[in-house]
Structure 1
Amino acid sequence: MKKILKIIIFTIIGIALSIGVATYIFYKNIHVPASNKKNTSTVSKNESQNKEQAIERKNILFVGSDENNLSDTIFVINYDPANKKVNVLSIPRDTYYPRPGFNAPKEKKINAAFSEEKIQGLKKAVENLLDIKIDNYVILNYDGFKKIIDTIGGVEVDVPFDMKYDDKRANPPLHINLKKGRQVLDGEKAIQFVRYRHGYAEGDLGRIKAQHEFLNAFLKKISEHSILPKLPSLAVTLSQYLKTDLSASDITEYAYEFIKNKPSAMDARILPGEGRYEGNTSYFFVDNLKVQEIVKELFSTDASTPITSTTSFAVAENKNIKVEVLNGAGIPGLATKYAEVLKNEGFDVVKIGNVIGMTFTSSHVYAKTNEEKAKKVAKTLFITNVEKDISPDANVDVTVILGKDKK
């Protein structure tokens, strides 16, 4: 599968630098967050400290975009101030995500939601895919990445082997030529390093490890005192190449928290699944059951409670929804596997079976009596295709047909 998770960490760099820049600008002579700037005679010291700790935990969508507005990198990040941890979930650009009205093979990839429906389309797609709320977004392009690295004087990493690759069809053309050994990479060489994906014994896993090494080296570099004089230049660079709907006050509060309590750990994951061809098109098919587990771990505010779990009241309501689950992928045990998921959420699964004579690439949910009931089932199984098939003689409320995307 081509170009999965290209430059996974490169937009993390953008937000890390924006935090540093915001801190320099807003807190050069101020020692309390902007949201807490009140008359100190009326605010107690303890009250002020409590407000400083009440920073909101947000899910931020990061997009790495080329000059043609194609999203080569997509991931969701949040900062957990209670545990001083940064959580990152990367989403392969080829992730299979069919949208109503978009039927061409390439239009069924999640990165097409960005190129065709801009950031709001991608935001909606990621929210549906992960069943979480996206609070804000950040977009950074290649030129911005390179200029950021050049501004801080490069980043020192250990290139594990000679890296040489040319792709004249890429736009812009991709030329990689790096020699093995520890060295300081400028912006141009840095982007070659994080984009290189050939030659690793572990495939993409090896590349991701190399990118993590680059990120750690970058964070070490920007924590040096010598970077402070360069922050004004970074501010100019970011203003030219970084697009975000985060407000100045948002950035300020997170900047203060980041500097005051620097993250002690980063939990970076890849959306679980596998890449394979359907016809002549390569897709990344998500393992939806594992996604629920990872989303719970990374984005749930209470690790003891699954983010997709329902309340007891909702479970009681689900018992009134009759569902049939049909295996349309020809994969043994698939219908039983997902029927158990629905049963655990309280749905009344009255039939488990197979679709005869036809194979489905994508999964579908059909509303036989009520569309809202079908949407509940679809949300539980992370299925985006919901269609009406209302029938007065229906024996079930919802029919689920599982496709190969649920493998």
Structure 2
Amino acid sequence: MPLDDASNELFMDRLEHSAPLFEGPPPQRKEISARHHHHRRRPWVVRHKAATVLLVLLALIAGTGIGLVLFIRSLLGGIEHLGDPFAGLGSRPPYATGAAGQPVTFLVLGSDSRIDSKDPSQWEVGAQRTDTIMVMQISGDRKRVNVMSIPRDSWVTIPANDVVDHDSRAKINAAYSWGGPTLLIRTVENVTGIHIDHFAIANFESFKTLTDELGGVDITLTQPLDLTGRQDAASSDNVLAPGAHRLTGEQALVYARERYTLPDGDFGRIKRQQNWMRSILKAAVDGGTLTDPVKLAGLVETVTKTVAVDDALTTSAMIDLASSMTGIRSSNVNFFQAPVQGISTSADGQSIVLLDAVTLAEVSRAFQTDSISQYVAEHPDKLNVLGGVVN
């Protein structure tokens, strides 16, 4: 959305003064960060460049529209809120605690469908399942972020609900289909033992548009990529050869959807999704997006169309959280997978993923004690950690 000179001037003026407009107490449900302090030396977005880029990304994978981003969202109509999916959950795992403060934990849903996640009314019982489920925690000292993907085919116990009136075994993504955000939160907390503070949902169409806003993302392919989406490079006439490429949004979406040709199947798909997110973050940092009003406006407009969050993630909570994350760098973000035993088949013939309950209990303790970064560093083999080379 191009801006004329007058709009640019107004935009930059608002950039300079956006932060103090959002000062306020944190949400009553949970204290999440220190107070925001106003600085007049340079625009907020420049002084908090790394934190802002990271949190723009997290706005897509976790709904945390922070600082300037939230200010622009308010001008464009505001981010959609889903109500309070935590009401009536009953017994829950305890809040995580850390020596330097409280971590903040999000349950993040990603959809590979065209459903507009901004409109909560589009959820219907039995109508949608989630393609991507992530637990994301910002550390208590606000210097690290850990993102754990839970395979969508994980075979778990889902509490009784309006569709199935008793506790039942099913794939974890059925929980959202059967009972929306509340049932999925309950299921994830029961399975992992991790207390969820906030909930957000987005879809991968938003990642495609954001990628194009950033001028593409740099991804190295280890095998040919069939750009038709048929996942049949041997007979396709539109193939990217292995090697380094700058992918468009559509190409990156094809890359992230691939699984049938990957050595690890859906596990490989999870890594590709994570790799795309990491590449978006890097592109935003290196491309000057945050200091270009036109680029930034387009990026934020994309975010506002495709993200919905819980009501407790208020404006003041978001700006407080962003203000406390000035020490975050892209290298401080870990992507990994919930520990699994392997793949099996359910009694009714479904292909399922069996979680490793023993290791998952260790991971849960690490999340609850704000030591998950240390655990990931010490046990990368248990968690399928995202590395530099992605198949």
Using structure 2 for the length normalisation, give the TM-score. Answer: 0.58
Is the alpha carbon distance of 1:17 and 1:113 closer, same or farther for their aligned partners in structure 2, counting shifts above 3 Å?
A: closer
Is the alpha carbon distance of 1:87 and 1:299 closer, same or farther for their aligned partners in structure 2, counting shifts above 3 Å?
A: farther
Of 242, 258, 280, 2:307 maps to 242
2:254 is equivalent to residue 192 of structure 1: yes
Asked if the contact 1:277–1:283 (Cα under 8 Å) also holds between the matched residues in 2, the reply is: yes
Of 216, 240, 245, 1:179 maps to 240
Cα distance in 2, alignment partners of residues 127 and 291 from structure 1: 12
2:90 is equivalent to residue 22 of structure 1: no
Q: Which residue of 2 aligns with 1:283?
A: 352
Q: Secondary structure at the match of 1:188?
A: helix
2:104 is equivalent to residue 58 of structure 1: yes
Cα distance in 1, alignment partners of residues 352 and 191 from structure 2: 15
Cα distance in 2, alignment partners of residues 131 and 137 from structure 1: 16
Q: Which residue of 2 aligns with 1:394?
A: none
**Number of matched residues?**
265
Shift of 1:128: 0.7
2:179 is equivalent to residue 117 of structure 1: yes
Q: Secondary structure at the match of 1:137?
A: strand
Asked if the contact 1:146–1:187 (Cα under 8 Å) also holds between the matched residues in 2, the reply is: yes
Q: Secondary structure at the match of 1:97?
A: strand
Query: Which structure has the bigger radius of gyration?
Result: 1
2:369 is equivalent to residue 300 of structure 1: yes
Describe the superposition over 1:91-119 as per-residue Cα deviations: whole angstroms up to 9, x where unpaired.
11111123336389x97111111012111
Cα distance in 2, alignment partners of residues 301 and 70 from structure 1: 30
Of 130, 142, 145, 1:86 maps to 145
Shift of 1:178: 4.5
2:345 is equivalent to residue 270 of structure 1: no
Is the alpha carbon distance of 1:166 and 1:231 closer, same or farther for their aligned partners in structure 2, counting shifts above 3 Å?
A: closer
Alignment of 1:147-186 (within 5 A): 147-164=209-226, 178-180=239-241, 181-186=243-248
Is the alpha carbon distance of 1:107 and 1:241 closer, same or farther for their aligned partners in structure 2, counting shifts above 3 Å?
A: farther
Shift of 1:149: 1.4
Q: Which residue of 2 aligns with 1:253?
A: 320
Cα distance in 1, alignment partners of residues 371 and 220 from structure 2: 38
Question: Structure 1 stretch 15-24 or stretch 113-122: which is displaced more?
Answer: 15-24
1:137 maps to amino acid = F
Describe the superposition over 1:52-99 as per-residue Cα deviations: whole angstroms up to 9, x where unpaired.
x97642110000122263200001001115272211221111111233
Cα distance in 1, alignment partners of residues 330 and 337 from structure 2: 20
Cα distance in 2, alignment partners of residues 177 and 14 from structure 1: 33
In structure 1, runs of 5+ residues without a counterpart are 1-10, 28-52, 169-174, 307-407
Is the alpha carbon distance of 1:124 and 1:19 closer, same or farther for their aligned partners in structure 2, counting shifts above 3 Å?
A: closer
Asked if the contact 1:86–1:263 (Cα under 8 Å) also holds between the matched residues in 2, the reply is: no
Q: Which residue of 1 aligns with 2:202?
A: 140
Describe the superposition over 1:20-77 as per-residue Cα deviations: whole angstroms up to 9, x where unpaired.
76345659xxxxxxxxxxxxxxxxxxxxxxxxx9764211000012226320000100
Q: Percent identity?
A: 27
**Which fold has the larger relative contact order, with Cα–Cα distance below 8 Å and residues 6 or more apart in sequence?**
2
2:271 is equivalent to residue 222 of structure 1: no
Cα distance in 2, alignment partners of residues 176 and 285 from structure 1: 38
Shift of 1:160: 1.9
2:283 maps to amino acid = K
Q: Which residue of 2 aligns with 1:75?
A: 134
Cα distance in 2, alignment partners of residues 112 and 18 from structure 1: 22
Cα distance in 1, alignment partners of residues 205 and 193 from structure 2: 32
Asked if the contact 1:178–1:189 (Cα under 8 Å) also holds between the matched residues in 2, the reply is: no
Describe the superposition over 1:279-309 as per-residue Cα deviations: whole angstroms up to 9, x where unpaired.
3112212221111011222342367xx9xxx
Pairwise CA RMSD: 3.7
Using structure 1 for the length normalisation, give the TM-score. Answer: 0.56
1:64 maps to amino acid = G
